[in-house]
Chains A and B, each alone.
Chain A
């Protein structure tokens, strides 16, 4: 792709990424929201993170893989345990990556 077209693509991507990030906060922050909307917003973090997580573990190369061969799922167990017990984001990421790297090395 030519550089100019790439730049236009980037500019478009920037716009469509930034507006959804900005507009809701911009429009809602000064207002008193109805209680149901407040309750709904309070469940958004859990709902959106769960919705991001499962496909990231299970979908590989555009196909669903729920089997004992899915290393991502196995590594999620010790990683999840570290997150639950140690409350450490750093420790969780490190544990997950170590297990996956080690398993790939051993199973090669």
Chain B
């Protein structure tokens, strides 16, 4: 009987399992850099700017926080705003929960600490297609946070030199990432309708003044309609 050489296949499969981290890194380096620049301009030291990326690790709320710190807004309102902005992760955490059934507690604790919009999108696609292996998922998460911290460090260190990140289009990395991750999730026609509905709701609620709540509300309602239509279709068929 022929036997595979043990090294070669495992090496390629490792590369393949870590490959989802590459685009996240590509997005996080520039956006982390932009955050670092803004943090430095808001008066944070390099150490503090990096510390926030290590502790909080949440892109949009970190960007919001440094601008609030720069304006001298009370810490309690910064924390409350962060809570509201990051509540959406409850939905992501819940939607990945069934995949984490067989994981060890410590793995879940570590995994959830690094659960961001982008790592969530990557994992939810991955878990669906190939099952939820803990170690590669944790590795993808760790690589992603390293990229975020590295970008933050570079941005904070050069911060005072760069006032405007717009000429480099670094500000478009995150929206472009959402475009791709959303399109990858569209697997049936109902998904497209739910995406349109949720996007419209999110913007509609925002313009009605629900500036922090729009995302989570739109997602809850959009998914509810999706589940409702799906259940109804199954019953009538």
Contacts and interface: CB of A to CB of B under 8 A. Distances in A.
Given A16-B86, A92-B179, A29 B97 contact: yes
Contacts of A97: 30, 169-170, 172-173, 176
A87 B173 CA distance: 17
Given A45-B95, A50-B199, A59 B55 contact: no
B75 interface: yes
Contact of A17 (B43, B69, B86, B227): B86
B143 interface: no
B197 to A, nearest CB: 8
Contact of A22 (B56, B109, B178): B109
A42 B228 CA distance: 12
Contact of A89 (B100, B181, B198, B207): B181
Contact of B94 (A3, A41, A59): A41
A11 B214 CA distance: 26
A27 to B, nearest CB: 8
A79 B180 contact: yes
B94 A44 contact: yes
A89 B180 contact: yes
B161 to A, nearest CB: 19
A90 B88 CA distance: 25
A106 to B, nearest CB: 12
Interface string A44-57: 11111111111111
Contact of B79 (A9, A20, A83): A9
B195 A93 contact: no
Interface residues of A, number: 74
B27 A101 contact: no
> Which of B88, B92, B214, B231 has the most CB atoms of chain A within a 10 A radius of its CB?
B92
Given A80-B183, A95-B176, A13 B82 contact: yes
A22 B93 CA distance: 7
Contacts of A44: 91-92, 94-95, 219, 223
B9 interface: no
A53 B219 contact: no
Interface in A24-48: 24-30, 33, 35-36, 38-48
Contacts of A40: 223-224, 226-227
The list of the 9 closest CB pairs from A to B, nearest first, reads: A96-B176, A89-B23, A43-B226, A47-B222, A92-B180, A51-B202, A24-B94, A101-B169, A16-B83
Interface of B: 22-24, 26-27, 30, 43-44, 48, 51-52, 55-58, 61, 65, 69, 72, 75-76, 78-80, 82-83, 86-98, 100-101, 103, 108-109, 111-113, 115, 117, 120-121, 124-125, 166-186, 191, 194-203, 206-207, 214-216, 218-224, 226-227, 230-231
Given A24-B90, A47-B226, 13 more contacts: A18-B112, A20-B83, A22-B108, A25-B100, A30-B101, A51-B216, A53-B178, A56-B174, A90-B26, A93-B27, A93-B180, A96-B175, A104-B169
Interface of A: 1, 3, 5-6, 8-14, 16-18, 20-30, 33, 35-36, 38-59, 64, 72, 75-76, 79-80, 82-84, 87-90, 92-98, 100-101, 104-105
